[in-house]
Amino acid sequence: MNLAQWIRQRREQGKKERGTVAVTAILGFTSFILAAGLAIDVSHMYLTGSELQNAADASAVAGASVLNGDESGVTLAVNTALATQNKFEFAKDLATFTRADVTFAKNVGGTYYSEASARSIADQIRFVKVSIPNKSIGVPFAQVALGENTVAISRSSVAGFSSGLQVLCDSIVPLSAVQDDITKAPLDVDSQCPNKWAFTPGCKYVIRRGSNGNNTGWVSPGNYLILALGASRGGNDARAGVAGSAAGCFKAGDCVGTQTGIETGPIKQGLDTRFGNYGSGLTSDIFPPDVNIKESISYQDYLDELDKVQTGGNHTGARWQAPGNGLTGRVGRRVIVIPIINVRQFNNGNDTVCIDHFAAFFLNKSIQGNGDIYAEYITTKVQVSDGYFSGGTDQNNQFSIPVLYK
């Protein structure tokens, strides 16, 4: 091969090599783009799944937070879950679901019931499941691998009652009811209660003594069943406490201070917020009224009327009154949690008393004058704003907080 032939051959070979490099570069760049696009699609699917899961979690917890052992709580849970629907796809689309997608169970791993079926066993319902149906998500780069440019993603979540709380936080009203140290019989019972030997649902009990309340002889003079929880002292703290301000964390056996003086004005002003009446610096944004401020009704009346409103029916005017002045009510504000104290704790001028246990009461009416304040004892499930289970034997399963399970 002469020099001219060798040069010509090298030129032809160089052209082929350049072409091969160009093709390889194009293929490599294309693969890189597809890989990057696939990574974007996978990240999009992961983010969307997380957004849908967060939406399901929020709706399930919201629904569980209003379960109350009554038919009204089941329907209220559905309505609350639906009202808590969140957005996904970078807050552009609503993570919609229907009433049929909200189901209920007695146990986390048990059978889940429709709203209608759950209403018939409402006293046994403890869990809410929210299922968000398939949402179509665009994945244009994954089409090469999947053959489709969209994928369907769905999520579900279960929330329900916590274990019975042994420690209650920020939920206790600084009033109290007294019981016999030995028999545990309540000592300040409304005369119409048929059972004077035990706290009985539907019966009313004194939770603050009036100006003539010390004539009973149950407690020593100067005690009006008002407590000073934590660092609380004086009328201002009593007012805020009965309105619903934080009081700290307490459990059975803890000893707390007592507050002397009847505190008629502060106690009335604090409890009145629950009926939509405000004064002395208390505001509805911190202390909202109840959704039903009708006075002289029983707790069952309250639940029955709540159920009518939640199911779209007409409430009974004689047992329902929405708060006025444009105020937005909150379910359960008329339910209060107070300590039960053994009567001897109030004897001999003690300035501290120890808590025997906690109980829930319903405020049948607002406060009038400076007489005894009565409230109706209830035993249905009560959810509080905060608290925890400290271990040991669970002797009081009435109080709980909504917990996310799965």
Contact yes or no for 205/179 (Cβ under 8 A): no
Looking at residue 114, its pLDDT comes to 97
A 10 A CB-CB count for 202 gives 16
A 10 A CB-CB count for 233 gives 11
Question: What confidence tens digit (pLDDT) does each residue in 384-402 have?
Answer: 888 887 765 554 568 888 9
- Measured CA distances, 366 to 70, 293, 311 (Å): 24, 9, 27
Looking at residue 66, its pLDDT comes to 93
What DSSP string describes 362-393? E--S---TTS-EEEEEE-S-EE-SEEE--SS-
Looking at residue 229, its pLDDT comes to 85
Q: Under DSSP, is residue 262 helix (H, G, I), strand (E, B) or coil?
A: coil
What DSSP string describes 112-164? EE-HHHHHHTGGG--EEEEEEEEEEEE-STTHHHHS-SEEEEEEEEEEEE-SP
Distance between CA atoms of 312 and 290, rounded to whole angstroms? 19
State how beta strands 399-400 and 382-383 pair.
parallel
Low-confidence residues of the chain: pLDDT under 70: 1-42, 88-91, 139-149, 212-217, 231-232, 349, 391-397
Q: Under DSSP, is residue 337 helix (H, G, I), strand (E, B) or coil?
A: strand
Q: Where are the beta strands (DSSP E) in 274-394?
A: 335-342, 352-362, 373-378, 382-383, 386-388
Looking at residue 4, its pLDDT comes to 59
Question: What confidence tens digit (pLDDT) does each residue in 130-165 have?
Answer: 999 988 877 666 565 556 667 788 899 999 998 888
Q: HSE (CB half, 13 Å, CA atoms) of 100?
A: 1
What DSSP string describes 67-115? --SSHHHHHHHHHHHHHTPPEETTTTEE----GGGEEEESSTTS-EE-H
Distance between CA atoms of 16 and 19, rounded to whole angstroms? 5
Q: Which two tokens stand for residue 107?
A: 């146990």
Question: What confidence tens digit (pLDDT) does each residue in 72-104 have?
Answer: 999 999 999 999 988 766 667 778 899 999 999
A 10 A CB-CB count for 374 gives 19
Distance between CA atoms of 19 and 85, rounded to whole angstroms? 57
Specify the DSSP element, H or E, that contains 25: helix 3-64
